[in-house]
C-alpha cells in the first residue's frame, strides 16, 4: 500500500487537503481563488496545499479555463491515476466487482463471479482469493489500490464492520479478514446504501441532493441521501422501508415479523403471487414448467414478463401499485428531488414504473409530489460495486 498523507494522523493541513480533494469530487475542478473562498483559507495556504497534492500525485493542473476576456485562472482537479478503488457486491451465490480510478471513473467491471457467501472464515478467504485473481487478471497494481468497499445484503454497522446477517463464529469481521489478506483499507456497506451512493455520484442523479434509492430485489431496501450525504441513523439501520409495518396480513416476513411492506411489494411477493396464480390454474407461459413440477424462479418470472406473459405482467403491476403507495408516503415525509427505482425488478420496465407513477400521483400530497422525479437506475447491477468502491474513497477522505 502506498504511503501518503492519508495514512498519517490528521493535522490542520491534512484536513484541509482532504477537504480540497472532497470538494473536487463534488465539483470537478476549482481555481485557487474559488477554493480559498470556499475553505475560508488564505490564497498562499491553498496554493501551497495544492502544490503538495500535485507533488503527491493526487491533483493535476487542468490549465486555464473560463470565458475569454480578462485574466483566466488555472483550474485544478483530481488526478485520475492517483490510485484505484475496488468495489465488490457480494451476493449469496456470486460476486460482482468494479474498479474505479481516483476520479471515480469505472475502469474494470466483472459480473457474476462464482462464490458462495457463508457464515465462516473460509468463505471470506475464498472471496479474498477471487478478488485478487480478478485484479491480477487485469494487471491491477495493488500498490495503487487505496481502498476496497464491500457491499452485502442485510443489516450492517459500517463503523464497526459488523454484518448482522453474516456474523463469523470467530468474532472477526468480513472487512477485518479482507483487510488482513489484501493489505488495504476495507469498508463494508449495506447493498441498498452502496447502490444509492453509486447512483448519486456516478449514475442518474445530476444536481439532486435529496434522493431515495429503492432497491426492489428479492427483498425491498432503501438508501437515503439527504443534503448530499448518506443517512445512516444511529447504528446504520436507517432505510428499512421493506419492514415498515403496513399490512394486516398473516405473511411472515424474512425478518420474522408479520405485515411488513416487503411481504406485498418485493420480488418475494411477486414470486408468491405468480405461484398462487399458477396453482389456481391461471394461464401462463410458465404453466407447463409449473405442471412438470419444476422450480419457478424469480428470473423465470422476469423472463416471462419480457415475453409479455399476462399473469406475470399483472402481478408486477400489482407490486408497482403497492410500491407507489409506499413511495407516496416516503415522498410526503422526505420531499426528495429524486426517487430512483433500482434492484432486480427494474428489468420489468414500464410494467413496474407506470403503476408506481400513477399511485404516487394518486396518494402523495400534490405540492410535495410535484418536486419529485421518479427514474429508473442508470447503473443497474453496476450500482452496488461502483457505490462500494466510491464509499471506500469517501471514507478515506473523511474528516473526523
- What residues make contact with Zn ion under the rule CB under 5 A? 243, 253, 255, 257, 260
Q: How far is the CB of 244 from Zn ion (least distance, A)?
A: 8
Of 267 and 369, CB closest to Zn ion: 267
Cβ distance to Zn ion smaller for residue 224 or 260: 260
Q: Is 26 exposed, middle or buried (0-12, 13-18, 19+ CB in 10 A)?
A: exposed
CA-to-CA dists, residue 307 to 34, 277, 288, 304, 342, angstroms: 54, 17, 15, 5, 21
Task: Report in angstroms how near the CB of residue 235 gets to Zn ion at its nearest.
Answer: 18
Instruction: Closer to Zn ion by CB, 184 or 217: give it.
Output: 217
Tell me the three cell numbers of residue 99: 474498479
CA 85 to CA 125: how far, in whole Å?
20
Per the CB < 8 A criterion, the answer to whether 163 and 173 are in contact is yes
Q: At closest approach, how far in Å is the CB of 332 from Zn ion?
A: 22
Q: At closest approach, how far in Å is the CB of 222 from Zn ion? A: 13
Q: Tell me the closest approach of the beta carbon of residue 193 to Zn ion, in angstroms.
A: 18
Nearer to Zn ion, 241 or 351 (CB): 241
The least CB distance from residue 254 to Zn ion, in Å, is 6
Q: 92 vs 257, which CB is nearer to Zn ion?
A: 257
CA distances from 26 to 70, 198, 271 (A): 27, 13, 40
The shares of helix, strand and coil residues in the chain, as percent rounded to the nearest 5, are 45, 20, 35
Cell 493526487, residue located = 58
Nearer to Zn ion, 100 or 268 (CB): 268
Kindly state the greatest CA–CA separation across the chain: 78
Return the number of the residue (277 or 326) whose C-beta is nearest Zn ion. 326
Radius of gyration of the chain (CA): 23
Q: How far is the CB of 246 from Zn ion (least distance, A)?
A: 10
Q: Select from 254, 293, 290 the least CA-distant residue to 274.
A: 290
Amino acid at each position: 500500500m502506498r504511503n501518503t498523507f492519508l495514512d498519517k494522523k490528521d493535522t490542520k493541513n491534512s484536513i484541509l487537503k482532504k477537504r480540497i480533494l472532497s470538494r473536487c469530487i463534488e465539483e470537478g475542478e476549482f481555481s485557487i481563488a474559488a477554493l480559498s473562498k470556499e475553505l475560508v483559507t488564505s490564497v498562499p495556504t491553498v496554493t501551497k496545499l495544492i502544490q503538495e497534492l500535485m507533488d503527491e500525485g493526487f491533483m493535476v493542473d487542468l490549465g486555464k479555463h473560463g470565458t475569454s476576456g480578462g485574466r483566466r485562472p488555472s483550474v485544478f482537479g483530481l488526478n485520475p491515476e492517483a490510485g484505484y478503488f475496488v468495489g465488490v457486491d457480494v451476493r449469496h451465490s456470486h460476486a460482482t466487482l468494479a474498479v474505479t480510478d481516483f476520479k471515480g471513473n469505472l475502469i474494470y467491471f466483472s459480473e457474476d463471479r462464482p462464490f458462495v457467501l457463508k457464515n465462516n472464515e473460509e468463505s471470506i478467504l475464498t472471496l479474498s482469493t477471487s478478488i485478487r485473481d480478478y485484479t491480477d487478471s487485469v494487471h491491477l497494481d495493488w500498490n495503487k489500490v487505496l481502498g476496497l468497499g464491500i457491499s452485502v445484503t442485510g443489516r450492517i454497522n459500517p463503523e464497526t464492520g459488523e454484518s448482522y446477517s453474516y456474523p463469523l463464529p470467530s468474532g472477526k469481521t468480513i472487512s477485518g479478514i479482507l483487510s488482513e489478506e489484501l493489505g488495504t483499507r476495507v469498508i463494508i456497506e449495506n447493498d441498498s446504501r452502496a447502490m444509492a451512493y453509486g447512483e448519486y455520484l456516478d449514475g442518474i442523479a445530476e444536481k439532486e441532493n435529496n434522493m431515495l434509492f429503492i432497491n426492489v430485489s428479492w427483498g425491498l431496501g432503501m438508501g437515503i441521501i439527504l443534503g448530499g450525504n448518506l443517512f445512516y441513523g444511529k447504528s446504520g439501520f436507517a432505510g428499512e422501508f421493506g419492514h415498515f409495518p403496513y399490512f394486516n396480513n398473516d405473511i411472515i416476513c424474512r425478518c420474522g415479523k408479520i405485515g411488513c411492506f416487503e411481504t406485498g411489494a418485493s420480488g418475494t411477493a411477486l414470486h408468491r403471487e405468480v405461484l398462487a396464480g399458477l396453482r389456481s390454474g391461471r394461464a401462463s407461459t410458465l404453466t407447463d414448467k409449473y405442471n412438470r413440477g419444476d422450480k419457478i424462479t424469480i428470473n423465470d418470472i422476469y423472463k416471462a414478463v419480457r415475453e409479455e406473459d399476462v399473469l406475470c405482467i399483472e402481478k408486477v403491476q400489482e407490486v408497482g401499485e403497492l410500491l407507489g403507495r409506499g413511495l407516496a408516503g416516503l415522498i410526503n415525509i422526505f420531499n426528495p428531488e429524486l426517487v430512483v427505482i433500482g434492484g432486480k425488478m427494474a428489468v420489468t420496465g414500464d410494467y413496474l414504473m407506470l403503476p408506481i407513477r400513477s399511485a404516487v400521483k394518486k396518494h402523495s400530497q400534490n405540492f410535495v409530489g410535484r418536486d419529485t422525479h421518479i427514474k429508473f437506475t442508470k447503473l443497474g447491477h453496476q450500482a452496488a460495486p461502483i457505490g462500494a468502491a466510491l464509499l471506500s474513497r469517501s471514507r478515506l477522505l473523511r474528516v473526523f
